[in-house]
Amino acid sequence: MIDLETFSAEASGFLASHLKRREHADTRWGAGSDRIELHGLERRSDAEVAAEVAAARSWQAQCFDAGYAWITGPLAYGGRELAAAYERRWRELEQEFAAPDRTSLNIGLGMLVPAILAHGSPELRAEVLPGLNRGDLVGCQLFSEPGAGSDLANIATTAVRHGDGWMIRGHKVWTSKAQFGDLGLCIARTGAGGPPQRGLTVFLVDMHAPGVEIRPLRQMNGRASFNEVFLDDVGVSAARRVGDVDDGWSVVRTTLTNERAGVGSGATAPGPRLLARILCLARHSGAASEPCVRQQLADIYTRVRLVDLTAQRVQAAGRAGRAAGPEGSIGKLAHAGNLQRMSAAVTSILGPRLAADTGEWGEYVWSDLVLGAPGVRVAGGTDEIQRNVIAERVLGLPREPEASA
């Protein structure tokens, strides 16, 4: 097996030959571009988003072909089967370079891949895992519906047997990246009776199949990141079922646990870099000498460190071979709260300069954070739902009473 130092030297060589080094403009006012990395929350036109997705796919393919896209994954499905320390080293090294933002692939890589690896048949894994990990296939998550978000077991979409396969009919909503999607992980009702979590089955829907209609939903930051998806008798082969018939809830749990761990983990949480930029703004504007702002920033610093330490615990658990657990909910809740606090801090520093572009470097750009942060408190399970998970699964408090009880 390759040792970590040789791996690092090879990875550094690969990165240097493909990318430019990142400019460290985070702490110097007015230096370089004032762009803030918000991992998908930035205001972008549809054309810019499409270009971002194309760049992400291309970079993912180059990384996959060189053995850096799925470092811990099984050899049989295109991974490299190395320990998590190698993955961590790769991320640290990649941070030094101006790599394309791969947030658009997060659902496929961070949710579909672990769910299929844990619950899919060997044939299904062999069929789709290399493509998902190479960025040839973009994944999306067809869970939420108009009448089922937090209460996901309440879904109305149905799947009925049709010949050798299944026919799916229903209406999904908030489906991020569906407009670029190739595969949708879809939960549908296949059985009746018993508790609502029973009788659900998960399928991989071909997003280009006849009967799939995608309608974009525009958000307050101007982006149309998510969509309504109408499934009008969409055929799915039996081979595209993930997990057992009527046992889809275990697939849902794996997917959501990985989603929360992903949002809260250091890999996606841009906290320290954002905080450095806010400090730069506070110094430049003179707000850094105001006691209330100083208190606000000290509070954010402490909480950003806590998210970082929690992420390290989640990653350490992963390295020890433990599946992602409720710590992911703590990280997700804390990260969403930190973005909200940062948003409040820049709002108090900038005031009306957030609402209109004066042309000043590094000011109006913060409106992206202010308009994007609220969605993070909802996506992947709302703050209240994370608190329920923490109360029940971490603190051991009694379960929430059923509405019908």
Ligand X SMILES: Cc1cc2nc3c(=O)[nH]c(=O)nc-3n(C[C@H](O)[C@H](O)[C@H](O)COP(=O)(O)OP(=O)(O)OC[C@H]3O[C@@H](n4cnc5c(N)ncnc54)[C@H](O)[C@@H]3O)c2cc1C
Residue numbers 11-50 binding ligand X by CB under 6 A: none
Find the binder of ligand X among 7, 59, 86, 143 (CB under 6 A).
143
Closest CA to 266 of 20, 95, 22, 43: 95
Decide if residue 264 touches ligand X (CB under 6 A).
no
Decide if residue 379 touches ligand X (CB under 6 A).
yes
Place of tokens 């407009």: 179
Nearer to ligand X, 113 or 379 (CB): 379
Nearer to ligand X, 258 or 296 (CB): 258
Please work out the total of residues on this chain that contact ligand X, with binding judged by CB under 6 A.
21
Find the binder of ligand X among 157, 175, 201, 329 (CB under 6 A).
175
Closest distance to ligand X from the beta carbon of 223 (Å): 9
Closest distance to ligand X from the beta carbon of 362 (Å): 25
Decide if residue 149 touches ligand X (CB under 6 A).
yes
30 to 5, 35, 167, 359: CA distances (angstroms) = 37, 11, 56, 12
The strand pairing partners of 230, in sequence order, are 171, 213
Residues in the chain: 405
Residue 12: CA count within 13 A, CB half-sphere: 9
Closest distance to ligand X from the beta carbon of 89 (Å): 30
DSSP string, 144-176: -BTTBSSSGGG---EEEEETTEEEEEEEE---T
Q: Collapsing DSSP states into helix, strand and coil, what is residue 241? A: strand
> Which residue of the set 259, 360, 363, 400 is catalytic?
259
For residues 116 and 59, what is the distance between their CA atoms, to the nearest angstrom?
Answer: 23
For residues 101 and 86, what is the distance between their CA atoms, to the nearest angstrom?
Answer: 20
- Residue 282 is encoded by which pair of tokens? 């506070």
Closest distance to ligand X from the beta carbon of 46 (Å): 16
Nearer to ligand X, 133 or 175 (CB): 175
Closest distance to ligand X from the beta carbon of 185 (Å): 9
Decide if residue 197 touches ligand X (CB under 6 A).
no
Nearer to ligand X, 157 or 265 (CB): 157
Decide if residue 388 touches ligand X (CB under 6 A).
yes
For residues 86 and 370, what is the distance between their CA atoms, to the nearest angstrom?
Answer: 35
Place of tokens 């994944």: 139
DSSP string, 260-284: HHHHHSTTT--HHHHHHHHHHHHHH
Nearer to ligand X, 135 or 181 (CB): 181
Instruction: Note if 290 is an active site residue.
Output: no
Closest distance to ligand X from the beta carbon of 342 (Å): 17
Closest CA to 110 of 263, 251, 319: 263
**By beta-carbon distance, which residue lies closest to ligand X?**
149
The span of 24-32, 136-144, 196-204, 341-349 binding ligand X (CB under 6 A) equals: 136-144
Residue numbers 338-377 binding ligand X by CB under 6 A: 375
Closest distance to ligand X from the beta carbon of 152 (Å): 7
Nearer to ligand X, 62 or 388 (CB): 388
Nearer to ligand X, 290 or 392 (CB): 392
For residues 244 and 307, what is the distance between their CA atoms, to the nearest angstrom?
Answer: 36
Nearer to ligand X, 94 or 368 (CB): 368
Which residues make Cβ contacts (< 8 Å) with residue 133, sequence separation at least 6?
60, 64, 69, 70, 73, 77, 78, 79, 109, 113
Find the binder of ligand X among 226, 249, 364, 366 (CB under 6 A).
226
Find the binder of ligand X among 106, 176, 268, 285 (CB under 6 A).
176
Q: How many helices (H) and strands (E) does the chain have?
A: 12, 8
Find the binder of ligand X among 8, 12, 382, 392 (CB under 6 A).
382
Closest CA to 188 of 167, 212, 163: 167
Find the binder of ligand X among 117, 124, 214, 378 (CB under 6 A).
378
Catalytic residues: 259
Residue ranges binding ligand X (CB under 6 A) = 140-141, 143-144, 149-151, 174-176, 226, 375, 378-382, 384-385, 388, 400
